[in-house]
Amino acid sequence: MKSQFHHIGIVIRPQTPNIPETVSLVCDFLRAQNIDLYFDETSESDLHQLSHFQERPHISKAKMGQICDLVISFGGDGTLLSIARKIAPYRIPLIGVNRGSLGFLTQVSSEEVVSQLEAMLTGKYIIEERILLETAIYRDDAEIHRALALNDVVFNRGAAGQMIEFEVFINQDFVYTQRSDGLIVSTPTGSTAYALAAGGPILQPTLHALTLVPICPQSMTNRPIAVSDAGEIKVLITHASDARVYFDGQSFFDLQNMDKIKIRRYRNSLRMLQPSDYNYFHTLRQKLHWGEQLV
């Protein structure tokens, strides 16, 4: 086998049963192909007994983008999200091996991981370009925070439990004022996550669109809307005694009244590699328990 990739990063979901065994099996296969392996430095407590882990370099997730030409994530969607934001600036492709509970993003089966990876490393894969969101937060006209998200950017009320009020603009055009528990700005990738639970539409992953999904709005006329991903979404927080903005549900920033949040499509997309038999609608049927074809 002649692999297209020669420097592969390994990222795992911490404290997940049987992941070390799966990783060991994959590492045996990859090392037999003379592929250099680089392990996420946070994996030590889970993989310290593996000889491959002891022998190979341990680096940060951010460093993987500079060194590796492919990253493999072992875990669920959350594990994949955590590495996706780190490697996005470098356009490094990403493969997800499912060891989580749902696995919309991790399409390689742990039961067939070696055979599927063997095919994918030789070019038998489907490339999906997934858009990310870049968010900049301004206070008194000065930028105070910047972050990336693959799934969604979520504005939410805090522990005080009071609704927040905000104004939404798209390309400088005023859209609406809303009083609610919050707002989800979702990519097509995130449309099957929190946005779906809040009543938003499902978007095919490769669509160039974003959705704005209200969270428990006070007005029943507030509904999810889909907009082009080519513009800028701006949210002005007009009243919030305790509010935060979350990025993929994995990091957050506290907000104050009159903070401005600007959201744009990130300059790079995430290159996700899927098995050659991958079918998005099959995934939806399987994960959401839709009915199968009758005839």
Instruction: Tell me the C-alpha distance between 136 and 146, whole Å.
Output: 4
Cα distances from 215 to residues 135, 224, 245, in angstroms, run: 19, 10, 13
User: Count of alpha carbons within 13 Å of 104, Cβ hemisphere only?
Assistant: 21
**Residue 250 near residue 154, CB atoms below 8 Å:** no
Q: What's the distance, CA 218 to chain centroid?
A: 29
DSSP-assigned letter for residue 229: T
229 assigned to active site: no
Q: Is 2 exposed, middle or buried (0-12, 13-18, 19+ CB in 10 A)?
A: exposed
The partner residues of 168 in beta bridges, in order of sequence, read: 176, 235
Of the residues 77, 152, 248, 259, which is catalytic? 77
Catalytic residues: 77
